[in-house]
Structure 1
């Protein structure tokens, strides 16, 4: 099975940065195949001539491994040398609130379909997907080309990375923000 893609569907690769390899800071992650699948998507998009947007999180949180100037701020090898049409930098979860203006760039080119992948599934990928859906884009998340980390919240509640990924799938599809698909259906 394959997912129908527009000839100009943009691949948006979110926060694939070295700082996310710091397990002391982030904790346990899911999906060890995420980077391999991201690489497959980048290769397929490059071969097809479709646009690629790289997104980098420039954290303003003191001590963050994603801080500007930190080694962890740099992109991982799987995307560092990848051809791309736009680099968006941001300080918040959504790539639509970065610089330069992603929405404006996409609309100037008439791009209506986005395929998202990257880190963290339930944070920046999900937030970008929700905003993209709200802005009227046809959003597809390559769910196996994403990963996240176990997370604790208020009142001692915690979810595993796998549970958070499941919640993201339910949130995006049940809420009508985006579709999800495995990488093999997109390449």
Structure 2
């Protein structure tokens, strides 16, 4: 099978890459992630993926355009469903590239993360399969998330703390602030 694999980040690539290689599959990576904010975070994740590529000699296509405005436009059109719009944006680019370049299948490393909305990803993938004729490879790989993260650490890959978008970054810091406030309010007074 000729598989185009959308890559969200290096650490999420480790497990699906190793699994598919063990199964004798040939995969080509595809980097397109305009959601990542700030730009320094985008560059850090890109650098980490290039490190993985050098280690594994993997073929990766980089659609390296920091198209943040396009992502924000899509996300702001419906903040409640911003993740769906993000998946549509990224996977549409992958499916288009796959069709234009003769790939039989496309998939995404997003499927490894228990923190992603997997039902949304599968819906988008299946809808794009119907639109493009390129089959969506629905990998059942979330069970390998922790193993992949551990191997990524051992490889010295950059380990990000949030999905990438400005909204998830905000949520991350809000959760930290709530935890800190809660622990302070539970501290016994003297």
TM-score range, shorter chain: 0.3 to 0.5
TM-score by length of 1: 0.44
Which has the larger share of strand? 1
TM-score by length of 2: 0.43
| Greater C-alpha radius of gyration | 2
Which has the larger share of helix? 2
